Amino acid sequence: MRLFIATPKKDQPKIRVLSLFDGLSASYIALERAGYTVDSYISSEIDRYCIQVSENNYPDIKRVGDITDWKSWDVDYSKIDLVIGGFPCQSWSVSGRGLGDKDPRGMLFWTMLDVMKKVMEANPKAHYLMENVKMKREFEQYITHHTEQALPNVNKYLINASKFSAQNRQRNYWTNIEADISQIKDKGIVLKDILEIDGYVDRDKSHCLDANYFKGGNLKSYFEKHRRQLVFSDNGLCHVGDADIKANQSTKRVYHPDGKAPTLTTMGGGHREPKILCGALRGRYKANGKTEQQLELRKDYKTNSLTTVQKDNLVVEEEQLTYRKLTTKECSRLQTIPDSYCFDGISNTQKYKMLGNSFCVDVVAWLFENLKNQEEK
């Protein structure tokens, strides 16, 4: 077992934390990354796998169990400097059933609000941070209204993790931390940067990681529903074949990973065309000024214009296209969790679930840096 315990630097401010729906304790990582020394950390979490990971890395955390039992917790709320939590999103998400607090999981918003209100009453100088998914406007306004009724100085931010990570992940934050999101600088991290196994990706930013990513994906859901990021094989993408068209030899050239290109004909529709994906390898400029080869696949089963450049037209049969889902380490990197974080004894299925439910650490660390600057003024 390897403990993930950062060495505090001299003169780092100390903070006492209550983390609700704590998950794998990503908030602890974010606080240390923001330059805090965590003086005490109280965790409310019921998932045994998340608790195991948290204990692997932070064995000194005090654990209080289920948030619904909060009234019986042995907690001195006057000694909490920060209360943080991301309440369950299933009933609020646009991809869910849209029941809001008519769903028992949605009711946990109110439970969390009660705990945060208790902290703020006991320590008016404390700070709070609530997180949830991007949701329909009606729900967003509902949560904002009731949060403003219960808590002081509410700021509402919508932040996309894409500026901190290789992932498109829009999340709402309600907090009394003052921050100017227009000042967020793009770190320039792209999906290719976080791969631990070689492959091609067709975008710079991953689709949003969710708790069901462990189920894997397919081409239909990937291209039509924009979910469950795939990584494509890089096995020989530029073999030459010939198209069955009237043209000179250079114009006929098409390409396929195995050299077994399907014959292109003028079939005239009727769904008799071979199911193929077409695309190209393109050199694209990155934030550092360098160019990298990027696979760009079409989703409409049409080809690019045929040219004499081999990589301009790659033809791949769907059945033969080799792809994989992201590894758990790659998902961890999307959430900017360090490779050294210890997941010993946890199955890949459970890793995928907890990573999909986690914060993007660097987003929350950025908010905590703003808190630290606010306190130092």
Q: What is the pLDDT of residue 297?
A: 64
- If phi > 0 it is left, if psi is from -120 to 50 it is alpha, else beta; for residue 261 that is beta
> For the residues 214-231, what does the mean pLDDT come to?
80
Q: What is the pLDDT of residue 149?
A: 98
For the chain, the average pLDDT equals: 82
Q: What CATH code is assigned to 14-187+359-376?
A: 3.40.50.150
C-beta of residue 61 within 8 angstroms of C-beta of residue 37: no
Residue 266 has pLDDT above 50, yes or no: no
Q: Which pLDDT band holds residue 144 (cuts at 50, 70, 90)?
A: very high
Q: What is the pLDDT of residue 238?
A: 34
Residue 11 has pLDDT above 60, yes or no: yes
Higher pLDDT, 54 or 240: 54
Residue 290 has pLDDT above 80, yes or no: no
Q: What is the pLDDT of residue 259?
A: 34
For the ranges 203-207, 222-226, 332-336, the maximum mean pLDDT occurs at 332-336
Strands 314-317 and 276-285: what pairing?
antiparallel
Domain range list for the chain:
14-187+359-376, 236-321
Residue 284 has pLDDT above 70, yes or no: no
Q: What is the pLDDT of residue 277?
A: 56
C-beta of residue 193 within 8 angstroms of C-beta of residue 178: no
Higher pLDDT, 262 or 221: 221
DSSP codes, 239-307: EEEE-SSSS-HHHHEEEETTS-PPPP----STT-S--EEEEEEEEEE-TTS-EEEEEEE-SSS-PPPP-
Residue 254 has pLDDT above 90, yes or no: no
Q: What is the pLDDT of residue 374?
A: 86
Q: Give pLDDT tens digits for 94-122.
A: 777 777 778 888 899 999 999 999 999 99
Amino acid at 74: D
Q: What is the pLDDT of residue 249?
A: 43
> For the residues 366-372, what does the mean pLDDT come to?
97
Q: What is the pLDDT of residue 2?
A: 43
